[in-house]
Structure 1
Amino acid sequence: MPDSISPTGTPNPKMTARNVSVYYGDKKAIDNVSIDVDRDNVTAFIGPSGCGKSTFLRTLNRMNDTIPSARVEGDIKLDGEDIYSSAMDVVQLRARVGMVFQKPNPFPKSIYDNVAYGPKIHGLAEGKVELDTIVERSLKRAGLWEEVKDRLTDSGTALSGGQQQRLCIARAIAVDPEVILMDEPCSALDPIATAKIEELIHELRGRYAIVIVTHNMQQAARVSQRTAFFHLGNLVEYGQTTDIFTNPRETRTKDYITGRYG
């Protein structure tokens, strides 16, 4: 990693990654990446398709564990705790570090049951009244309550694409996570639904550490305070979003931002 990259983006990071490499079989997909995830800001990962940004995102809650050929080297910590330690409960880790995927994936259950699912399996609610409170609070935080409060028994899959994505965000929020990872959460959505998700990200900032992978550079500029540029499995540059977009240090970053490749 070039000396010009400072991984210590914040004096009080929520997550730290040091010298992380990811392999799929013999193929190295991520090469020696070090980065901090800010506790109070939105961090965007940008870069061309196949550059490793989504692969790296998945290392932050061990989603790569589900791929038999995947191997992760290096050190990733959540509040100083090694998430790849044998003592780490992966189910609990994924409750603490929630994920919202590219394509909305509500369960084939009611809107209510989609949001209640996590709190039920993690034992976060004493009874129906407490569960009702969690569901309402999560849907409100996801900006969906007013649209669905009178049809909580309807199937989550009957909602529009943008509503489904906000339902998935509500589902992630319901287990009271500390970090929310978003893997291109707007790529399947129309501009109006995208604007609602971006507005929601602004509202959630500070309550959760948020990392978003996006192909859309304008979106990264709008929603994030820190941006990491990935290229060919390497972290090329990481810094304040305004600096990355207006005064990048690295030639490769400048070339990507100005549309010379990607």
Structure 2
Amino acid sequence: MHAPAPTASPKMSARHVNVFYGRKQAIDDVSIDVDMENVTAFIGPSGCGKSTFLRTLNRMNDTIATARVDGEIRLDGEDIYASDMDVVQLRARVGMVFQKPNPFPKSIYENVAYGPRIHGLAASKADLDRIVEQSLTRAGLWGEVKDRLNDSGTALSGGQQQRLCIARAIAVDPEVILMDEPCSALDPIATAKIEELIHELRGKYAIVIVTHNMQQAARVSQRTAFFHLGTLVEYGVTSEIFTNPRQERTKDYITGRYG
């Protein structure tokens, strides 16, 4: 497997990560660094392990009874699987945006305010108002919803709901945002808005996106990791992965021979 030289200061680093569901091994010896400067895309055919690996980065696999994770994953050098790690706090630092938009059945305002409120990030109502406005602005949604903050989040269009979920993730001031196929349920116009948003958020957060859409990976990321059968086949600069892959399996996937 070809891996690029580790980044000077990775935000997250994974070393020799294995994931098992019962006896079935889903991830086999994956090592990768994720940094603040580059959006990292995970690509590969269905069932190749890319979403499973993404879920190890904020311990979402903990919610699956049969799942077991070996190896080491660090956030700013801190072992996220250490026994004294506060998982609720970890998931605030490493936010997740899912494939299907999943706003809470609450108002637009309450969707965004919920996290800061439970994490004690706002000292007053004015603080909370500021966090909500800033998060919705960063998610490119403020202009569309500022006059209807009390409307239900579930009444928004699919693309707006996904941006609301991104605003909700941003509101707790995360360091990393994980996106698991965030556009797969959206139309092309909504998809373009999410992609534009990813460009705008780059550098403010370390961003990892799982996508089936290779054109999307080429458009939004600067680093691409190709997964196949639970292994990381190749990881490098996106433009090189797409134009000059080093591994035959990467080339076959990108040229459409399988997948």
Structure 2 residue 167 is matched with structure 1 residue 175: no
Structure 1 letter corresponding to 2:177: I
CA contact (8 A) 2:36 2:202 kept: no
Q: Distance in 2 between matches of 1:162 and 1:169?
A: 11
Pick from 46, 51, 63: which aligns with 2:48? 51
What is the CA distance between 1:5 and its match in structure 2?
2.7
What is the CA distance between 1:188 and its match in structure 2?
0.1
Structure 2 residue 94 is matched with structure 1 residue 97: yes
Structure 2 residue 26 is matched with structure 1 residue 29: yes
SS for the counterpart of 2:11 is strand
Structure 2 residue 248 is matched with structure 1 residue 241: no
Q: Distance in 1 between matches of 2:90 and 2:255?
A: 38
What is the CA distance between 1:9 and its match in structure 2?
3.9
Structure 2 letter corresponding to 1:58: R
SS for the counterpart of 1:13 is coil
Instruction: Write out per-residue CA displacement over residues 135-164 of structure 1, whole angstroms, 9 at most, x where no aligned residue.
Output: 000000000000000000000000000000
SS for the counterpart of 1:50 is coil
Residue number in structure 2 paired with 1:5: 3
Pick from 62, 71, 94: which aligns with 2:59? 62
What is the CA distance between 1:41 and its match in structure 2?
1.1
Instruction: Write out per-residue CA displacement over residues 42-73 of structure 1, whole angstroms, 9 at most, x where no aligned residue.
Output: 00000000000000000000000000000000
CA contact (8 A) 1:9 1:38 kept: no
SS for the counterpart of 1:248 is coil
Alignment of 1:3-152 (within 5 A): 4-6=2-4, 8-152=5-149
Q: Distance in 1 between matches of 2:107 and 2:239?
A: 42
Q: Distance in 2 between matches of 1:41 and 1:166?
A: 21
SS for the counterpart of 1:106 is coil
What is the CA distance between 1:168 and its match in structure 2?
0.1
Residue number in structure 2 paired with 1:196: 193
Structure 1 letter corresponding to 2:3: I
Structure 2 residue 154 is matched with structure 1 residue 157: yes
What is the CA distance between 1:89 and its match in structure 2?
0.2
Structure 2 letter corresponding to 1:119: P
Instruction: Write out per-residue CA displacement over residues 6-65 of structure 1, whole angstroms, 9 at most, x where no aligned residue.
Output: 4x4411110000000000000000000000012211000000000000000000000000
CA contact (8 A) 1:9 1:239 kept: no
- TM-score, normalised via structure 1 length: 0.98
Cα RMSD, aligned residues only: 0.6
Unaligned 5+ residue runs, structure 2?
none
Q: Aligned in 2, Cα 1:214/1:187: closer, same or farther, shift over 3 Å?
A: same
Alignment of 1:199-218 (within 5 A): 199-218=196-215
Pick from 239, 250, 254: which aligns with 2:251? 254
Structure 2 letter corresponding to 1:136: E
SS for the counterpart of 1:212 is strand
Unaligned 5+ residue runs, structure 1?
none
Structure 2 letter corresponding to 1:94: R
The number of residues matched between the two structures is: 259
Instruction: Write out per-residue CA displacement over residues 147-205 of structure 1, whole angstroms, 9 at most, x where no aligned residue.
Output: 00000000000000000000000000000000000000000000000000000000000
SS for the counterpart of 1:197 is helix
Q: Distance in 2 between matches of 1:9 and 1:222?
A: 23
